Structures are given as C-alpha cells and as structure tokens.
Structure 1
Amino acid sequence: SLGVSNAELVARSMVPIISVFATVFSPMGKSASWLTKKVLRFFGLKAVDDGRVSEEELRLIVMGARQSGGIEQEEAMMVEGVLDLQDTRVSEVMKPRVEVEALEKNATLMDLLHVVNSTHYSRIPIYDESIDKIVGVTIAKDLLSYAADPVSLRTCTVAEVMEPTYFVPESMVVQRVLEEMRRRRLHMAIVVDEYGGTAGVVTLEDILEEVVGEIYDEGDDMEEITDEDNIMMVGEGSFQLRGIADLEDVCLALNMTLETPDVRDFGTISGFLCDQAGEIPAVGDCLLVSDYAFTVADADERRILLVYAELIDNLTSDPDKPFIRTRYTKENDQEDNPRSRNGNGRGLSDRFSWNRSDDPPNRRGDSAQESDELQDGVLPS
C-alpha cells in the first residue's frame, strides 16, 4: 500500500492533521478518562493507567508485521518463541528420563569416555545406586586432562571429577529455569517429579531450540537427523510420528482437534494413544482418533516408539495406498465408555486389525449398511 511503501513521507504529512484532531478532542478524552475513574472507584476497582504494550498486543503486532512483510517468518517465530518461554513448563522441553544417558558414581573415566564417544554428549549425569538419586554431572572436556594417562582413565572414578548439579521441578516455567541456569552458570539441570524422582534433564540447548528451532552440531549425521524428526509428512494426509512427539505439535501438524483436557493431560502422542487403547498397543494395532487412523509401527513393553497416522478418507478412497486398512476388531463398547466417543458419535479409540487384501469399505454413511458392516467386521464409514 501507499502508506507501507512510503511510510516516512506519509507519516510526516499526517502529523499536522493528527495534531489538530488531538488538540480538539483532548478535553473530551480527559473528561471520559475522569468519568471512567470515578465509575471504577464507585465499584471499588482501581484504575490502571498503564501505557505498556501487553503480551497479546505484542503478538498481534508481530503477526501484523509478518503478514505485511515487515519481518520474516523465522523472525516472527523467534519472537513468539521468546514470548512462549514464560508459559512453557520445563517438562515440555526436557529430555525424558528413559532417554537420559547416565553413569553410576563408581564408574571409571574409561566408562565415561565410552559413553561420550557413543552419544557425543558433552555432559553426563552421575547417580548413586539409582538414576532417581543423581549426585552430579561430568563434563566431557575434563577427560582431556587424563588423555595422556591411560592408568588414571582406568582407576579414577567419575565421582572424582563430577560437578554439582541443579534440580528443578517439572512444573517450573522455562523462563525461570533459563534465568537460574544463567545465574548459576550451568548448562544442564536435572528435572524432578513431585516425588523427588528424576523426570528428565534439560539443557540450555533445549531451551534455545524453543526460540530458534532445532540446532544440529557439525558432527551430526544427516540420516540420524532425519530419523530423529518427531513429525514427518510422508504423503498427502499421511504422517510418521515418533512416540515422544509432543501431542500439541501433532494436533497442529495434523490439523486435528482434541478435547482440551486430553492435550493437557498427555505430553506425547505415545501417552495419549496408550490411554485411548487402555493398554500399551502392540505393533500393528490401530486406533481411530478424530479423522485419523493411527497404526503402531514400533513399540516395546513400556511405550510406543513409532506410529503412522493417516486420514481415514485416504484409507477408503484408494485401495493401493500402502497403509490401507479395512477390518477391525472392536474391544471397547462405546456405550459403556463415553470417553471413546467424539462429538459426531464416531469412536475415538476403536481398535482394528487390517488385511491389505480386503476391499475398501463403502462410505455411503447409511445407518443400516453401517450396522451390516459392523457385523461383518468391516471398518464403518
């Protein structure tokens, strides 16, 4: 527009006009402000005369600047990431307990060297008997002092070189964690749950990635980086999800709407799907959630590791789709389990097995036919 392309010229020309209007309407503005304060005081409320820009207003400014081309998409995301730090809990950004690489305090420096070489981590937590009792953190660069002394590597324990650590509750907001880590000059903190057990670890890099996105080291293998992407689109309406993928991020990527308590109660797609199934699903199990069919591709006895999500419409429109599924075995009665129904009556957690040789079901939506399909074990429309 003319104002955007010639902002300074237009602003200079509008100053006299705005000045005249400000002078004319100033008495009216002051009168309205005085009356407002009187009314608020009458109801026992205190008038706040604060000219500062609120967080909501700042977000609107950033959104407007991004849409008008005033700032780049990446810059807008960084600003929004900074604003989100005060609302994000450390449990949302930490590395969970099951992925933490740690050593027992009696382990030798040679053991530490092997762990550092295999993980490429610069800091390794040290525990006493149990990982729930972390007593310190070792820094990889400290091994350089023993590089020329193989005997010390085999005789010295990690307890002799470890540094004190810092503990934070998993409910603590990321902004406060960042402030404390900067003040204490630490790069890693141990996240504990409400019972004092280890919930995970958080690093400065984890927090920084909330602002600038994923950060990869120069030594990272690109194939490993691709494998570590939590959410990947593998086709139109088809996604590959790691079990640790954030549930809220999954909902955004899949344009899927869930009840607010579900998103708040579960941090990962693995936890949510396990809750919907009522157990830990096995490889090959499928669950219907909203408009998607989630198929477990990899899992162990404790959690889902990898899952494929595909639009149900895709499964019934193209019989050549690689993830076509048409038969199911219902294990939960929807009438006895209100949680397994969404707004339009379709089960949220219908489990079914699949056979690629089956013909795709008819999706006419006819109630009588749907009843027949249920009796035949065919996925209803």
Structure 2
Amino acid sequence: MTIALISLFSLMVGIACFVAWRKGLLVINTSVLKNVGEHASAESETNIYEFNDKHISDIVIHRIDMCVLEVDLSYKEVMDVIINRPYNRYPVFEEDIDQIVGIIHVKDILSYLHNHNDTTKFQLRNIMHDPFFILESQRVDLAFKDMQKEQIALAVVLDEYGGTEGLITTEDMVKEMVTDVLQEDDSYVLNKPSFIQQLAGNRYRINANSPLYELEGILGITFPEENFDTLSDFLIDQLGYTPANHEKPNLLYKNVQFEITEHTSQQIQSAIATIYEEGVTYIDQFHKQPS
C-alpha cells in the first residue's frame, strides 16, 4: 500500500511539475515524497514556494475525527485502540483533548516490546515524542516547510484560543498542494473524473462504483450519512433490493433521478443521473428530457 501510494504521488507530482513549469511556477522536488509516510528529510533542499494560498484550517482533520490516546492508558488499552483504529501515529492527551502532551508512533511501542518483557510497567509518557503545534491560520505551504525542517510528519493544529482544532500530516499537505497545481491548468485531463460522462446539459452517465463523496459536488446534493461507500450501495439501499436482470428501475432522490442501466445479481454497475431544476416538478422535467 505504501509503495503504491508513493508511486501515485510521484506520478502526480511529475505532472504537477510540468504544469507548474508551463505557468512559470516554482515546483515540488519529488524527493519530498520519498519519505512522506515517515518524515520529510531535513537535508533536502526541496521547498514548496508561495504558489499555494490555502490555510491549514482548509484541510485540517477536525478534532472530532482524531484518534487520540489518554496518557495514562495501560499497554492493553493502547493496543486495543491501535488494533481497532490502526494509524502510524497518535496524539497523546492529558485530562482533555485540548491538552495534547505528546505524539506516539506505533514503532515506538514495538521498540518497547522488543526491549522489555514486562508490559505492566508500560507508560506512554516514557516513550512518546514532544508534539509539534501549528496554527490553523498558517498557510499550508509555509507550514509544510516548517514541518519539513523539523522532520515532523504530524502536527497538532491549534485554534485562535490555543485549543486543539485538529491535526494535519505532511502527506495531507502534499496531496493538497499537488492538487492545487493540477487544477490551475484547465486542460489537465485528470481534472475531469473518468467515472462520470455528461450526456446532455443535466444528464450524466455514472459508474456506480464511484464514491458518494465525489458525486455530491457534481450532482449538487448531499447523500445520507449512512455507511454507503459507493453509488451502487446507496441505490440498492434506496430500492430495497438488487434489480433482476430484466429490470431497469428509476428512483428519485431529492432533485436527482437515477435510472439504473447496468447491473449484476449483486451490484449496480452504472446509472444515468438527471438533475432537475429546483421548484420544477419531476413530471414536467421528465417529459423535457431527451431519450
């Protein structure tokens, strides 16, 4: 997974560099990405220059989505969290989440186990690292350079009052900055999702394996906050069954009509979405659509 992720980043950055060169921008050196999963090299002279105008608050992982460890947890309690919510690093707090006192890496715990047989004496305080703090108002590219300089991969984000707003990683920053460069070039082909094809002004053919969160912005609707990963999952839930081979069912959700065009016995493969104008009845709009 890590190798695949780094390969994807390398490809994206290579294209981003070409786009940025065309626009006269200073670009990212791909050496930043070699250790993006662990730490950014302090010896690298790579920099992200001022082509990014986003702030940390735009991409922060909010505090309610953070997975944190209380500093006095036992070894078993820590391992229960790691097994159920596996990450590389965890913020460590004392008393409440606004008091982050450290960062623990999974490899620190593995190192402890290698050197100690008695886990009853395990204490996060003894093996955690000092936290690195940044302000939510800081610009993404400048924060990245600060974290790169300090060889920090995860930072705790503070709000204007000094409380914990959330966290950010260098990996998130690289994704955001590369995406920004790519989106500046309107002709860049990957800006147009391959999972959707516009058939007419308000009609789209959609691969039903598409993630719902990517469709929300395109269709202009919000899907239910249920455990639906793809459009196929959502449509089957709305229908209440998987369509039979001969069926091509239609359903209306908010102001979008979904016409199921291809499916197997287990999942929906494609659908045509028609977006209706607000305030116009479904029947009126339906009769205006091209066949």
Partner of 2:72: 106
Q: Does 1:197 align with 2:163?
A: yes
Structure 2 residue corresponding to 1:297, chosen from 195, 207, 224: 224
1:308-334 Cα distance to aligned partner (Å, 9 max, x none): 7xxxxxxxxxxx66442489xxxxxxx
One-letter amino acid of the structure 2 residue matched with residue 120 of structure 1: P
Letter paired with 2:174: L
- After TM superposition, give the deviation of residue 232 of structure 1 in Å: 9.4
The alpha carbon displacement at 1:169 in A equals: 1.2
- Counterpart of 1:94 in structure 2 is 60
CA deviation map 1:65-111 (0-9, x unaligned) = xxxxxxxxxxxxxxxxx567631211223322222110111012333
User: Following the alignment from structure 1 to structure 2, what is the Cα–Cα distance between the partners of residues 166 and 325?
Assistant: 45
Shift in CA distance, 112/60, structure 1 to aligned 2, threshold 3 Å: closer
Counterpart of 2:283? 361
Is 1:159 equivalent to 2:119 in the alignment? no
One of 209, 212, 216 as aligned partner of 1:241: 212
Instruction: Give the deviation of 1:208 after TM superposition.
Output: 2.1
Contact 1:295 1:307 (8 Å CA) reproduced: no
User: Residues 1-381 of structure 1: matches in 2 within 5 Å?
Assistant: 62=22, 86-148=52-114, 152-212=118-178, 233=195, 236=204, 240-242=211-213, 251=217, 254=218, 292=219, 294-298=221-225, 322-325=250-253, 360-363=282-285
How far 1:150 sits from its partner (Å)? 7.1
AA matched with 2:212: L
Retained in 1: the 8 A contact 2:157–2:167?
Answer: yes
With over 3 angstroms needed to count, the CA separation of the structure-2 counterparts of 1:109 and 1:61, relative to structure 1, is same
Kindly tell me the number of residue pairs found equivalent between the two proteins: 194
**Contact preservation (8 Å) 2:221, 2:254:** no
Amino acid of the structure 2 residue aligned with 1:86 = N
**2:124 alignment partner AA:** V
Tell me, what secondary structure is at the counterpart of 2:82? helix
What is the CA–CA distance in structure 2 between the aligned matches of 1:323 and 1:132, rounded to whole Å?
46
Aligned-residue Cα RMSD (Å) equals 4.4
The whole-number CA distance in structure 1 between the counterparts of 2:177 and 2:220 is: 32
Pairwise CA distance, 1:123:
1.1
Give me the TM-score of the superposition, normalised by structure 1: 0.41
Structure 1 or 2, whichever has the larger Rg, is 1
Aligned residue identity for 1:147? L
Alpha-carbon contact 2:49-2:141 (below 8 Å) kept: no
* Contact map agreement 2:61 2:166 (CA 8 A) in 1: yes
Structure 2 segments unaligned to the other structure (5+ residues)? 1-17, 25-47, 180-192, 198-203, 232-247, 256-276
User: Once the 2 structures are TM-superposed, how far is the Cα of residue 158 of structure 1 from its aligned partner?
Assistant: 1.1
Distance 1:139 1:362, change over 3 A: same
In structure 2, relative to structure 1, the CA distance for the partners of 1:110 and 1:232 (3 Å cut) is farther
Question: Structure 2 CA distance, aligned partners of 1:138 and 1:298?
Answer: 31
| Alpha-carbon distance, 1:127 to partner | 0.5
Structure 2 length normalisation: TM-score? 0.52
Q: Which runs of 5+ in 1 are unaligned?
A: 1-57, 65-81, 214-230, 255-291, 309-319, 328-345, 351-358, 366-381
Question: 1 or 2 for the larger relative contact order (CA 8 Å, sep ≥6)?
Answer: 2
